[in-house]
A and B are shown apart, each in its own frame.
Chain A
């Protein structure tokens, strides 16, 4: 994100907050779902995350990356809601016997989703059909009604871009 936008975000500028929301709504909702396993609670967590980010925007240092700052707020917000759910007497929303996911996992989900959101729609669809739906290239070609060769080249390109965007995960 460019410096001008980050500076405007820091002042609470609504258009900048919207741009930040668009950039990070996917990763924030993904980690909220990872922690809470419930769309309603995850929606609340996402809304609270961006509200807190907006409220604390003046404390954000534009010299630092925005992603980890948003991530820290989102993770803490989701875990706070998770703990609150654990304290409630009856909870149908969360399996009270399961601990929250490991911090490494939450961070990976945030980073992977952020990377996925930077792919084109077509590239992201191929990755999803491959890894989430478990389809083969032939099945993807049938599903998308495109030639097998196109699927292969698109898949290769999508994976290369995704891996490039996630290079830093290996280092950490």
Chain B
């Protein structure tokens, strides 16, 4: 073997061993170093400073901050984190860098508003974010829609402000016609499930984002379950009033003509009639947003979007 070839072979072998060694050591380093500070550090927390330091490349920086906000929310959401303290500052920086970045308001507000662990549980921050978005983009009806949506899902629901937000949206050119209906329904406080269904159907129809569509579908499926269980439990009450006892099985309800067949959830699985007269889902994990039909003390896992 020539000298040069010997060097090549030795250097190649050494390179491969070093590469493997570096990967191995990096894994060890990851275990030694806690990852928490990495996730929880906002290197600069003043939107004004970040904007100044962006040297005019604020569009690109806004995209990076938005991506970071999405990653931050996603990772904490999956791990069912108990706080999202960096989410609002990340969104503030993103929108200060690019006030026209509509997605940051639209989806950001939906990350911030829902209660823990589904979201950051900060509806006030979501409202502030959307109002800032509206000030900078007064002609975008989607922002008024999102604002109304947030007021509706706030606990307690602020019907007046939800109606006002939808109403403001109707005045924007090319606004979705649903806004007018929603504004009217809010003003009347009418049909909770029906209104929710309309909101989620609009959410589905007005986004191209796959994840947001899946989220809307998951909510619509949960609404169907809530509606079914409400109806079924009314029948049980009715049966109890007529006979003085709870129905022992679903077949008894079918026998009385109250039910035409075995009631099934949106996946086609039959609901279970419990001995205390409640109805339960067979697989509650498949309906993460359902509030009815759940076993006592049930805690849902991370949402699975079908």
The answer on A and B forming one complex is no
Q: A residues touching B (Cβ–Cβ < 8 Å)?
A: none
